[in-house]
Amino acid sequence: MTLSRRKTLALIGGGAILAATATFAYDITRMPRTASLPWDNAGQYDDLRMRALSWAILAPNPHNRQPWRVDLGQPDTAILYVDPDRLLPHTDPFNRQITIGLGCFLEVLRMAALQDGQEVQFDLFPDGSDPRSLDTRPVAICRFAPTDAAPDPLFDLVPQRRSLKEPFDTTRPVPDTALTAIAAAAIHGSVTGTTNTDADIAEMRLLSHDALRIEIETPRTYKESVDLFRIGRHEVDANPDGIDFTGPIFEGLSRAGMFNREIALDTASAAYQQGLAAVFANTDTAMGYVWQVTPTNTRADQIRAGRDWLRINLAATAQGLGTQPLSQALQEYPEMRGPFADIHRRLAPGGGTVQMWARLGYGPEMPPSPRWPLEEKIVG
């Protein structure tokens, strides 16, 4: 689940924030001190593999779980594994979305290595894989070697890339030229579609709204998100992953006792009801859409979809557009069966799997998501 940060002050209680500000004015205006450092430190390593990996950890991934672990025990090689403690068993029961996030990681790794005159060859799932769940076997063996290939022009946009979880400007349409550039960025095999027509936007807003409602109203899937809330700078610095809530608004709400995980789970609370309005403000302001379809749904397909999604995200950034994945309708648990079937009828009428579906539009500039230091992800 994704929450709009900008509207929550008015929705939950501005007066309490003013009171908290008067008491804790200095403290609540502080931002996390260490959670954004990986964005500043990217590329600042002597080992070329570490340089590339320091960029790769900035890749988008579901619920910001950062599910990667990397073994550097062999020369000129990085072996990627999934961290089994960072899966999403309720909203992503077959780990499809997590695998897409690992594909995003690998594409940034490839781009970053090219900056150093290195190519990376990927041996995906060398010991096999299970379509039902990821396990402790390697996801990819990444072998580095010199190359004369030119750097990828999209790489320069990696520091600016965001998943924009805010309402979009409904007075600004998404131009056809931007959609063409975004679709052209996918080069790894997923079929990419886009739309900005009024009819499609109206229908897809309703579909994404309904799917989000189902995820929130299904107790176990909603709790999976709430358990990953990081509220305030101290929590974010201590655990720089999950769904972060930082800045004076959330520091103040937390200090006033008006926002915590228990309150968020209480469906009778004003915070819960107003939170629904905030998240629906995101789905209901989409101004265009982009999606990816693969003919089959193998682990390799999911990796390729992730690599292409990373490129699509960067291409949208180059156009000045915000993107936000609408993962809910693509999730494979029983309560989501209706929206899952609807989105596949619409976007994959000839068969296949819709791997990604995202809204597009113009929105505010946002800070980067928190990240664990690279060193925390190295296991050998």
Task: Give the mean pLDDT of 169-191.
Answer: 98
Q: Name which of 350, 284, 298, 360 is nearest 94 in CA terms.
A: 298
Q: Kindly report, residue by residue over 260-269, the tens digit of the pLDDT.
A: 999 999 999 8
Determine the pLDDT at residue 14: 45
Q: Kindly report, residue by residue over 215-262, the tens digit of the pLDDT.
A: 999 999 999 999 999 999 999 999 999 999 988 888 888 888 989 999
Question: How confident is residue 376, by pLDDT bands cut at 50, 70 and 90?
Answer: very high
Q: What does the CA dihedral 208, 86, 110, 44 come to, rounded to 10 degrees?
A: 120
Burial grade of 44 (CB within 10 A; 0-12, 13-18, 19 or more): exposed
Q: What is the mean pLDDT of the chain?
A: 93
> Is pLDDT above 70 for 17?
no
Which residues are CB-neighbours of 29 under 8 A, at least 6 positions away? 248, 251
CATH superfamily of 1-362: NADH Oxidase (3.40.109.10)
> Is pLDDT above 80 for 161?
yes
> From CA 111, how far away is CA 296, in angstroms rounded?
26
> Is pLDDT above 50 for 345?
yes
Kindly state the DSSP code that residue 150 receives in the 8-state scheme: P
Kindly state the DSSP code that residue 378 receives in the 8-state scheme: B
Q: Kindly report, residue by residue over 60-106, the tens digit of the pLDDT.
A: 999 999 999 999 999 999 999 999 999 999 999 999 999 999 999 99
Instruction: Provide, for the chain, the percentages of residues in helix, strand and coil under a 3-state DSSP scheme, each rounded to the nearest 5.
Output: 45, 15, 40
> Is pLDDT above 80 for 344?
yes
Determine the pLDDT at residue 19: 46
Q: Name which of 102, 186, 85, 61 is nearest 136 in CA terms.
A: 85
> From CA 154, how far away is CA 160, in angstroms rounded?
11
